[in-house]
Amino acid sequence: MSIIELILIGIGLSMDAFAVSVTNGLCCKNIKAGKTLMTGVCFGGFQGLMPLIGYFLGRGFSQYITAFDHIIALILLGFIGGQMIWESFKKEDENTDSNVLTGKMLFMQGIATSIDALAVGVSFAALKDVNIAFASSSICCITFVFSVVGVLIGKKFGNMLNNKAQLVGGLILVGIGIKIFAEHTFFS
């Protein structure tokens, strides 16, 4: 596998993490550099870890992984996004803590956006010319960069959207969950 192919795979896998990072930047108006970097580390870490897991699970389990990965992503992103939508309709004074990006939220988002990378790892096991350590590290680094940039972009536009940012962010997360589900259910 060429480096160009690996970079394109890394970019493709990082798109969901990028979109969720933009959403985090939109919704968390006062997100600091530490949380921005933690978003990159969490999303990049999961995107790098999942191909390794998939690689070692191998071809024998691929149909089981791809059979339910999209359902898990839909449930996790739907839950997080639905909660954000619900919170956006509460009164402003009741809504002060909902704009805090917690470690638990990042963990759930990291899993939900990286499940596809597990299936990619399974496909890597079928190829003979893949250095899995290099591939996983590359995917991790690419996703890290895209996630940090996504938070910064979301933060920039979040100030313009003001009160509607949490509603928009929730709708984006639910939309990503539905997109993943539809792609795997109808177009795979």
- The encoded tokens of residue 129 equal 């010319």
pLDDT tens digits along 101-140: 888 889 999 998 888 888 788 778 777 778 999 999 999 9
Give the pLDDT confidence of 58-100 residue by residue, as tens digits: 756 656 666 777 787 778 778 777 877 887 787 554 444 456 7
SS3 33: helix
Q: Give the whole-angstrom CA distance, residue 130 versus residue 151.
A: 31
Percentage of the residues of the chain whose pLDDT score is greater than 90 = 26
Q: d(Cα 158, Cα 162) in Å, to the nearest integer?
A: 6
The reported pTM is 0.74
Domain boundaries along the sequence of the chain: 3-186
Q: 35 CB contacts (<8 Å, ≥6 apart)? A: 28, 101, 151
- State the CB neighbour count (10 A cutoff) for residue 116: 23
